[in-house]
Amino acid sequence: MRPAGYVRRRLLLAPVQVAAVASAVFLLAEVLPGDAAVVLAGDDPDPERIARIRESLGLDRPLLTRFAAWAGGLPRGDFGESLVSGRPVLGLVLDALGPTAVLASATLAVLVPLSVWAGVAAALREGGRFDRALTAVGVALYAVPEFALAVVLIVVFGGLLPVTALGGLTPAALVLPVAVLAARPLCSLSRLVRAGMIGALASGYAAQAVRLGVPERRVRYVHVLPNAVTPAVQQLARTVDWLLGGVVIAEAVFVIPGLGTLLVDAVADRDLPVLQGLAVLFAATTVLVNLAADLVAFRLAPRA
Amino acid sequence: MSHPLDHPLSRRGLLGLGLAAGAALLTGCGTSSPSSASSGGRLRAAFAGGGATETLDPHLANLFNEAARAKAMFDKLADLGSDVSPQPRLAERWEPSSDLRTWRIHLREAVFHDGRAVRAADVLASYARILDPAKTFRARSSLALIDLPNSRAVDERTVEFALKRPFAEFPNVLAAFGTYVIPEGHTDFAEPVGSGPFSFTSWKPGRSVLLRRNAEYWDGAPFIDELEFLIANEETARMNALLGGQVEYAHDLSPVTARQYASRATFVKSPNSAMQAFAMKVDRPPFDDRDLREAMFLLTDRQGLVDTVLPGAGQVGNDLFGRGYEHYAAEIPQRGHDLDRARALIRKAGAEGLAVELTTAPVAAGFVEAATVFAGQLRAAGLKAEIRTGDKDTYWSDILTKGTLASFRSGAMPIETHIAQRLLTSSTTNATGWRRPEFDALYEKAVSAPRAADREGAYLEMQRTLHAEGGLLVWGFADWIVATSPRVQGVSAAPANTMDWARFDKVKLA
Amino acid sequence: MRRALYAVPLLVALCGPWLASSGDVLHGVSYDPETGWLGTDFAGRDVWQQVLLGGRELVAVMVLATAGAYLIGVLWGLTAATARRRLADELLMRPLDLLPAVPSLFLLLLLATLFPGGGLVWIVMLVHLPDIARLVRAAALEAAHGPVVEALRLQGESWWRTTVRYVGGSVARTLAADAGTRLTGTLYLAAAASFLGVGVSPDAADWAVMIERNRAGLLLNPWAVLAPALMIIMLSVGLNLAFDRALRRP
């Protein structure tokens, strides 16, 4: 198989996938109890007023008409307008993407080198003190729910570091959220690297290469490591996708106005155009990230 | 994340019901001497807000942060004082005709941020915008009794309102939520222009609004130079931001937070703020039975509820709205906890072992807690109580028509407004299904009788009826709690929705 | 000692509801550390009683959802990896791209708003399924297309022996490394759901809900948060370590 053909096929398929996800989300959101008009009326739910709001939002039109109107705008890059604020969805989503992207990049910059290093170091001394310590710490960190970890970090470091991003996403304000976000994937990634490394080291070809006189370091890092990290690449793709898909809890605790915050607001507001805009964005990122992961995996361990 | 108060992601701090009214003890503004010098500095205030979907249109304000920003940039003709009675603001004074159908409003001398004077025409234009039948402004129902085509500007600073019927409480309308005065023709709120103590500088939707001191403010220029509103939907995040020095003011905190950090920040508590209640539907079984309703009143251990849900930040209620407000019937004795009599009444109603479904949702601070505790009290009286958790986003609309017993609360509003919106046959948000022609007639008397003594008598009689057999089981009043850094001085203990709540023009930074 | 790590929370979860005093729950002052064994929670209830009651459902969700996701995911991934036609592989794997294209919390928010109070098992299963299938496929590719499988096939060995026994055996190590974390991943989703206030009743006796609801009073009665948190942490650490040990044994 040639990667170029594969990429072309996957990219052609992508719009179909995105459309399928967007339609599914539209239908799901459509059957949620209540609509934006009820939510907007809030604690003043005068039925007559709700009816007027519904009318002014165009929510009294049939379902298909609304979906068609929304889908019709897509080719022009028009994602519609938020029902609640009236602002263009594209602007809302792009505004929220900024902080999420900053947070994701910072997390990956810490996560990837650290997990590969830890996984390899543990595998090389399998069963050793470092291996056992890494396992224990990793497992414990993985077991702590995200918000519990956040609460603890805030109590401990609250005096030293900003505990919210209210003053902007400065490097100092990123420290705690990145620590919270990296904790869980760090554990799963380093364990996958470790398991893959142990498996690959034990396989025949590593020993064979050493016997043939290839320097041990070269065997480890040029031949074994690429094979060992293949399963981890898929997991990393999921992590990237997760980071870009709105890390709802971390954003809420640390007050980061990113995609996760927008998502929670949009569900609570029944703001369908915003939900659909997010669905399209999330679907597109997932397709691209997975494509990238497949390509990387293909390079590392070509299919026989 | 929600119900701004207790649930972390919830951000809908809805005002009307949601807010609290005010502290009977504290003095309002108006008395403060105009400040010539500013103390300077920027005050940053954290509110729960509407996220990226919020608006700066003061007539659309619905959430705490929107209302707080609206009052910083705009004025109403009147606002609610410490006893939730209307106090003059942009209106210097008002006088009714003898038949209470025509009201003359005299405006004070004030200017908008763009230098134009506030004129009678601006008032009429603002009210016309709110009353536009094609729009959906919240304040529309409050202004509905104004006969706008027959109202007029007498001169530049005098408005004469014609009403559709006689109404003694018209100043309540001038102070109603969301009735801000905007400059005629200026309806672009990307850069709002108002007459309030602060003028607009910049806005990042979903993040922050920055305002600057209006040195020309008619009620005295603010002390601080700049005011920044920041959004933090989670209560703990607001408190953490305050402790971490990222803000100087954190709005809307829980009693637990106040207990927990009492030594590390200044907490300002306003008593008699948010009414805490359970709403029984009197128009359907089982609570159409008067004896059963009385049994419910008696089986409630109000002190127990306050101790658990509002420790150190609330008082028991007497099944009446508006404790400490104008017209409140303080002479009706406090109802106590009488389990024996409650059991006897339950027997009399033939309701022993009755299954009661209690609807609640994490939409407001303490709802789930109070429902959990109350379910235990119902069981202790021999009823079968089941808690049903509703959808938090559509809760208020759902409980209007569905179920028989639901968590309920209300913020500050005049007692007259509470009755008009919730307890008349024509009320649009009548959550207890209380519809009685004789009660409607009493209300009519209370708002339109020519003699003040007759009106007062009608208020008392209405409250006696509600206390004896109404559908609202008011078990307590929660304090409204905000916290400030030690640098901040001059924050009044005022419940939300009243004049001194979220008021920053009298605040100083040390 | 190691076993106690997961045995204690499991025992509490399974037997707790029988040990808890039945009858009316008493309500005292909230977050009072002096009342009862572990103080009181946000609604003034006894924390120890809530801990006894709070594990069963969480453990049930964790076990059912994880087992279900593995059962389907492993077969799915193995079938794809051993498919001799690329098309079959593609047909199996592409639809799985759709599901993760919607972030798990998005799915959780939508479905839980739709089915309040239920369906957490199904949501968690759906979220994990594509992940497991992809992981299994990736890990099995090498073995599935290696000489041994060819040889087994030539000998006419059954699909069960080649695919499940041999190829499946070759991914066991990766899977075992994944299993412990997967179980805690389920706990994580359940906890996230309770944090977001979806899928679980906010007054439920449930360890995850307890952590979330009681953290407001962390400094007043730490046990209201620490006790359920300890249960969850012991459970997932214990299970993770147990899987790890099983893995090291030849």
CA A86 to chain CA mean position, Å = 27
Residue B314 DSSP symbol:
E
Looking at the complex, report in whole angstroms how far the Cα of residue B52 sits from the nearest Cα belonging to chain A: 7
Nearest Cβ partner for A234 among C134, C191, C212: C134
**Distance, in angstroms, between A285 CA and closest chain C CA?**
8
Q: Is C199 on the interface with B (CB under 8 A)?
A: no
Task: Name chain C contacts of A17, Cβ cutoff 8 Å.
Answer: 94, 97-98, 101
* Chain B contacts in chain C segment 14-73 (CB below 8 A): 24-31, 42-45
φ, ψ of residue A81 to 5 degrees: the values are -120, 145
Give the Å distances, CA to CA, from C233 to A152, A248, C240: 14, 22, 10
What predicted TM-score, i.e. pTM, was given to this entire model? 0.83
The alpha carbon of residue C98 is apart from the nearest alpha carbon of chain B, in Å, by 28
Instruction: Tell me, yes or no, if A86 comes closer than 8 A to chain C by beta carbon.
Output: no
Contact A254 B237 (CB under 8 A): yes
Query: What is the CATH code of the structural domain delimited by B4-71+196-265+485-509?
Result: 3.40.190.10
pLDDT at position B135, please? 84
Q: Do C100 and A238 touch (CB under 8 A)?
A: yes
Closest by Cβ to C113, choosing from B2, B235, B391? B391
Interface membership of C191 toward A (CB under 8 Å): yes
Chains that touch C (3 or more CB pairs under 8 A): A, B
Using the Cβ of B417 and the Cβ atoms of chain A, whether some distance falls under 8 Å is answered with no
H/E segment holding residue B356 = strand B355-360
Nearest to C24 among B368, B380, B391 (CB): B380
B18: contact with A, CB 8 A cutoff: yes
Q: Which residue has the tokens 């009043």?
A: B477
Average pLDDT over residues A6-20: 80
- Over the stretch C103-148, which tens digit does the pLDDT of each residue have? 666 777 777 667 665 567 777 788 788 888 888 888 888 777 777 7
Q: Which chain C residues are closer than 8 Å to B260 by Cβ? A: 216-220
CATH superfamily, domain A89-300, is MetI-like (1.10.3720.10)
Task: Show the domain range for C171.
Answer: 61-203
A37-41, A61-65, A245-249, B305-309, range with greatest mean pLDDT: B305-309
Rounded to 10 deg, the angle between the C120-144 and C147-154 helix axes is 90
pLDDT-based confidence at residue A265 (cuts at 50, 70, 90): confident
Residue B254's identity, in one-letter code, is: S
Q: A residues 123-152 near B, CB within 8 Å?
A: 151
CA of A157, closest CA in chain B: separation in Å?
A: 10
When the pLDDT of each residue in chain A is averaged and rounded to a whole number, the result is: 83
Same domain for C33 and C96? no
- C47 and C171 inside one domain: no
Of A136, A142, A231, the CB nearest to C181: A142
Q: What is the mean pLDDT of residues A262-287?
A: 86
When CB atoms are compared, the residue of B44, B50, B52 closest to A96 is B52
Mutation for testing the B interface, residue in A57, A166, A259, A269 having most B CBs under 10 Å: A166
Amino acid at A123: A
Task: Fill in the amino acid letter for A172.
Answer: A
Question: What's chain C's average pLDDT?
Answer: 78
List chain A domain ranges: 89-300
Answer yes or no: do C81 and C185 share one domain.
Answer: yes
Q: Measured between CA atoms, how close is B342 to chain A, in angstroms?
A: 32
**Pick from B433, B414, B340: nearest CA to B21:** B414
Chain C CB within 8 Å of residue A276 CB: no
SS3 state of residue C121: helix
Q: Which of B12, B136, B237 sits opposite A255 (nearest CB)?
A: B237
Residue where a domain terminates, one of C170, C187, C203:
C203
pLDDT of residue A301: 67
**Is the pLDDT confidence value at C80 over 90?**
no
Q: What is the count of structural domains for chain C?
A: 2
The answer, for A142 touching chain C at a CB cutoff of 8 Å, is yes
Whole-angstrom distance, CA of residue B186 vs CA of residue B183: 6
Question: B329 or C230, which is more confident?
Answer: B329
Check whether residue C115 and residue C137 sit in a common domain.
yes
Q: Is the CB of B397 less than 8 angstroms away from the CB of A45?
A: yes
Condensed to tens digits (0 to 9), the pLDDT of residues A53-109 reads 888 888 888 888 888 888 888 888 888 888 887 888 998 899 899 999 999 999 999
Q: Which residues pair with B45 in a beta bridge?
A: B229, B249
Q: How confident is the model at residue C43 (pLDDT cuts 50, 70, 90)?
A: confident
What ipTM is given for this predicted complex?
0.80
| Same-domain check for residues C94 and C186 | yes
The helix-helix angle for C172-195 and A146-157 (nearest 10°) equals: 70
Position with higher pLDDT, B501 vs C99: B501
φ/ψ (deg, to 5) at B369: -60, -50
Domain ranges of chain B: 4-71+196-265+485-509, 75-181, 272-479
| Residue B203 three-state SS | strand
For residue C103, the domain's CATH number is: 1.10.3720.10
Query: Is A66's Cβ below 8 Å from some Cβ in C?
Result: no
- Provide the pLDDT for residue B19: 36
- CB-closest option in C117, C216, C219 to B254: C216
pLDDT of res. B29? 38
Q: Which of C82, C84, C98, C183 to mutate to test the interface with A (most CBs of A within 10 A)?
A: C98
Residues 32-51 in A contacting C (C-alpha not used; CB under 8 Å): 32-33
Q: Which residue of B has its CA nearest to A87?
A: B53
Question: Torsion angle, CA of C197/C198/C201/C204, rounded to 10 degrees?
Answer: -70
Q: Which residue of chain C comes nearest to B306, CA vs CA?
A: C29
A46-69 confidence digits (pLDDT tens): 888 888 888 888 888 888 888 888
Tokens of B349: 């109603």
Residues in chain C closer than 8 A to B6 (CB atoms): 216
Residue B261 carries which side chain, given as an amino acid letter? Y
pLDDT for the residue A144: 72
State whether C138 and A286 contact (CB < 8 Å): no
**A43 → closest Cβ in B18, B233, B241:** B18
Compare CB distances from B308 to C27, C113, C201 and report the shortest one's residue: C27
Using 70 as the pLDDT threshold, list the residues of chain B that sit under it.
1-38, 50-53
Q: Please tell me the distance from the alpha carbon of residue C232 to that of residue C61, in angstroms, as a whole number.
A: 13
A269 lies within 8 A of chain B by CB: yes
Q: Which residues does chain B have within 8 Å of residue A34's beta carbon, measured at their own beta carbons?
A: 391, 393-394, 397-398
Letter for the amino acid at B164?
Answer: K
| Interchain pair B141, A46: CB under 8 A | yes
Chain A CA closest to residue C96: A17
Same domain, C79 and C26: no
Chain A residues with CB-CB distance to B429 below 8 A:
44-46
- Mutate which of B233, B259, B264, B373 to disrupt the C interface (most C C-beta within 10 Å)? B373
User: How sure is the predictor about A302, in pLDDT bands with cuts at 50, 70 and 90?
Assistant: low
Residue scoring higher pLDDT (A29 or B248)? B248
Q: Which of 3.90.1330.10, 1.10.3720.10, 3.40.50.10470, 3.90.76.10 is the CATH number of B75-181?
A: 3.90.76.10
C80 and C199 part of one domain? yes
Which CATH code fits B272-479? 3.10.105.10
Q: Is B446 left (phi over 0), alpha (psi -120 to 50) or beta?
A: alpha
Q: What residues are paired with B94 via a beta bridge? A: B105
Chain A environment of B15 (Cβ under 8 Å): 43
Q: Going by C-beta distance under 8 Å and a sequence separation of 6 or more, which residues neighbour residue B389?
A: B359, B360, B361, B362, B368, C116, C117, C201, C202, C203
Q: Which residue of A has its CA nearest to B230?
A: A166
Are the beta carbons of B363 and B409 closer than 8 angstroms?
Answer: no
Q: Residues of C with CB below 8 A from B307's CB?
A: 28-29, 44
The pLDDT value recorded for residue B202 is: 94
Q: Cα(B196)–Cα(A276) distance, rounded to whole angstroms?
A: 39
When mean pLDDT is compared across A279-283, B25-29, B338-342, C179-183, the lowest value belongs to B25-29
- A263 touching C, CB under 8 A? yes
Q: Does C222 touch chain B (CB under 8 A)?
A: no
pLDDT tens readout for residues A125-141? 888 888 888 877 877 77
Whether residue B455 lies within 8 A of chain A, CB to CB, comes out as: no
A180 at B interface, C-beta within 8 A: no
